[in-house]
Structure 1
Amino acid sequence: MSNNSTPDNQTSETSTEAKRILTGIKPTGIPHLGNYVGAIRPAIESIQNSDHEAFFFLADYHGIIGCYDPAIIHESTRAIAATWIACGLDPERVTFYRQSDVPEIPELAWILNCSCAKGLMNRAHAYKAAVDINTEKADVDPDQGVTMGLFGYPVLMAADILMFNATHVPVGRDQVQHIEMARDIAGTFNHRYKSLFTLPSAVVDNDIPLLTGLDGRKMSKSYSNTIPLFGEPNPQVSPEKQMHKAIMKIVTNSQLPDEPKDPDDSAIFEIYKAFATAEEIADMRARYAAGIGWGDAKQALFDKINDEIAPFRARYEELMANPKELEEILQMGADKARRHSRKQLDKARRAIGIRPLAKLK
């Protein structure tokens, strides 16, 4: 399929139709620069100048699939909530909530489980990957280590989406299958009972860059090659210094200052492009050709990133120091979300026959 075509269940951002957009964020780590460029910044920019209805949620029930450290779940939830708000997410403009504060979601997930074919779940990429690893080993059960949470993950994700009849779900390419499954699950329910759920479309923005990490691979906490966005709590080292220290660790080749360098073979330049204007990129490309030293290139990268991130730091630190304010924001979001979820769950219950036997005074 050419890059200029869009599958029926995926969309580009050219449509002017009214949308209900839903974005989930799994709280299993401290946000890094790759999260900011790949998810936070584009998501916030996409809703700032639009009339689309937007839902953002902290997917803490998804987070406990594979993460068994309560402290990580708790602290990540706080840090990620603070990060999104500090970076410009307006909780008055959007519905920003914690998944576990909307009890209608897991109840809907159970209802959907009861009409979802097991064979559909067998095809989920995460489940298949776990089984493939086990089958490569001798005398190991194919399902060893597979929890029902992992196996049924796509149904919970479908409930997240269908609860609010989201029309568009921004995802990475590796998550498109989950949106396809949500469509299948919705279609089965609609056909079996009544047409209740909107079929969501995946939104894949191919223009969003995937940041290169310190070692040249994709930036990912699983590779331990990330650049911190706001840093780890450390009274001895400021967040700004933590970012500077990380950038100075970016792996480079052994070319000396004044030797012409290929910017397209440089992780430093790849990251720089995600923060610079077209004019600044062209100027930096010329500096590479003129033999900029790696130390100077790293300093230029730090300066460019810091110019964008520094204005957010004070608000982030304020929120991290005041969890009560964060909790109030999340509870406000949960109240807004439940105005929708209570009605939607009641419709789903009635559709399957779970309703009062008679009206009582």
Structure 2
Amino acid sequence: MSAFKPLVFSGVQPTGNLHLGNYLGAIRRWVELQASHDCIYCVVDLHAITVWQEPAELERSIREVTAAFIASGIDPKRHIVFNQSRVPEHAELAWVFNCVARMGWLNRMTQFKDKAGKDRENASSGLFVYPNLMAADILVYRATHVPVGEDQKQHLELARDIAAKFNHDYSARIAEKGIGVEIAMGEEVVNGYFPLTEPLIEGPATRVMSLKDGAKKMSKSDPSDLSRINLTDDADAISKKIRKAKTDPDALPSEVAGLAGRPEADNLVGIFAALAGRTKGEVLADFGGRPFSEFKPALADLAVDKLGPIAGEMRRILADPAEIDAVLRDGASRAREIASRTMKDVRSIVGLLGD
């Protein structure tokens, strides 16, 4: 083997409705990556159960996320779409990584601290080792690139640390088996099995904030449905939510600098820019000096134009759960072809007897 084959991996948890922030921040980018990379997109249902999920609701959400992928333009025939739990090699490699990762590394993960809150002793152990499973998700396919947002950068850094330690600890064994490649790790070159996966930086991040509070990220866990635009919302719902979105009393500024200290205005202008494929400056060149009573209808029309077809296609796909399940089974079968080869090698490297 002379090099790692370029491959993109990413995933979404099936917890709650997918919304505009998920689309602009991740899924739209995934659609674009299909033109330049081989891609594996996963519904990470094992991650979801690190906190309690109502089983029937989890089943529904897995299918809904899959429908959102397809409706947004991800092609499950050219690329791979599946749900994580159908490929047991994710969990098997995660256990190996539990034995590679250090407690000190996991203790530094800020997401565990955020999600566990003050009652950390009552959090599931799965939530604590969640980053090791994420590393396994990526590395069981030896993925070379992962599109990441700000909230996942630390986890990708951990995946790189785990890959580096595995490669270093087992370098002699990997060379003996003849199944590695030379990897530079600082000034040292080792025979490694796993790539040091690189982040795919998306340029200026599309960070979509709540429609009710421009200082909070748009979230599917927010109790107010008016805080977000769900990908399943119809035209009336989209228009209503934008009409009711929080703003301030001033007109829109004519320059981007004028958005400073105006989080709601900045958010709505950013959403318009992202949906239109323009910069905030270009949007303000058209709407600067105009009141929100003129800007909001234009934003609503644009959002309906861009998101309405996705919502309609999602409803069509969700009407046939058997077809969604067929897509997931096919994707899992293709994913396992890759993952099973990786785990065969890993067992041999570590010294576990098996096939």
TM-score range, shorter-chain basis? 0.7 to 0.9
Q: CA deviation at 1:284?
A: 5.6
Q: Which residue matches 2:272?
A: 272
Matched, 1:198 2:195: yes
Matched, 1:180 2:167: no
Q: Which residue matches 1:117?
A: 102
**Aligned with residue 248 of structure 2, among 233, 245, 253:** 253
Q: CA deviation at 1:71?
A: 3.2
Query: Which residue identity is paired with 2:128?
Result: F
Local SS of the residue matching 1:208: coil
Query: Which residue identity is paired with 1:274?
Result: A
Q: How does 1:1-361 map to 2 (within 5 A)?
A: 19-47=6-34, 49-50=35-36, 52-129=37-114, 133-134=117-118, 143-193=120-170, 194=174, 195-215=192-212, 216-217=214-215, 218-223=217-222, 224=224, 225-231=227-233, 239-255=234-250, 260-262=251-253, 264=259, 265=262, 266=265, 267-278=267-278, 282=282, 285-289=285-289, 291-292=290-291, 294-356=292-354
Extract unaligned runs of 5+ from structure 2: 175-191
Q: CA deviation at 1:125?
A: 1.5
Q: CA deviation at 1:299?
A: 1.3
Post-superposition Cα deviations, 1:125-160, rounded to whole Å, max 9, x if no partner, equal 1234467x53xxxxxxx7422211111111111111
Stretch of structure 1 that moved more, 98-107 or 278-287: 278-287
Extract unaligned runs of 5+ from structure 1: 1-16, 135-141, 232-238
Q: CA deviation at 1:281?
A: 6.7
Counting aligned pairs with the same residue, the percent is 36
Q: CA deviation at 1:298?
A: 1.5
Post-superposition Cα deviations, 1:24-71, rounded to whole Å, max 9, x if no partner, equal 111111111111111111111122x21x21110000000111233223
Local SS of the residue matching 2:11: strand
Q: CA deviation at 1:122?
A: 1.6
Contact 1:37 / 1:208 at 8 angstroms: preserved in 2? no
Q: Which residue matches 1:7?
A: none
Q: CA deviation at 1:279?
A: 9.1
Distance 1:348 1:282, change over 3 A: closer
Distance 1:74 1:286, change over 3 A: same
Q: Please give the alpha-carbon distance, in whole angstroms, between the structure 1 residues aligned to 2:162 and 2:282.
A: 48
Q: CA deviation at 1:190?
A: 1.8
Q: CA deviation at 1:282?
A: 3.6
Local SS of the residue matching 2:275: coil
Paired positions, count: 318
Q: CA deviation at 1:296?
A: 3.1
Query: Which residue identity is paired with 2:232?
Result: F
Distance 1:143 1:250, change over 3 A: closer
Q: CA deviation at 1:312?
A: 2.5
Query: Which residue identity is paired with 1:296?
Result: E
Q: CA deviation at 1:336?
A: 0.6
Q: CA deviation at 1:262?
A: 2.4
Stretch of structure 1 that moved more, 206-215 or 335-344: 206-215
Give the superposed CA RMSD: 2.3
Q: Which residue matches 1:234?
A: none
Contact 1:23 / 1:55 at 8 angstroms: preserved in 2? yes
Q: CA deviation at 1:344?
A: 0.8
Q: CA deviation at 1:81?
A: 0.6
Local SS of the residue matching 2:16: coil
Q: Which residue matches 2:177?
A: none
Stretch of structure 1 that moved more, 57-66 or 207-216: 207-216
Q: Please give the alpha-carbon distance, in whole angstroms, between the structure 2 residues aligned to 1:301 and 1:340.
A: 44
Query: Which residue identity is paired with 1:324?
Result: A
Q: Please give the alpha-carbon distance, in whole angstroms, between the structure 1 residues aligned to 2:122 and 2:113.
A: 12
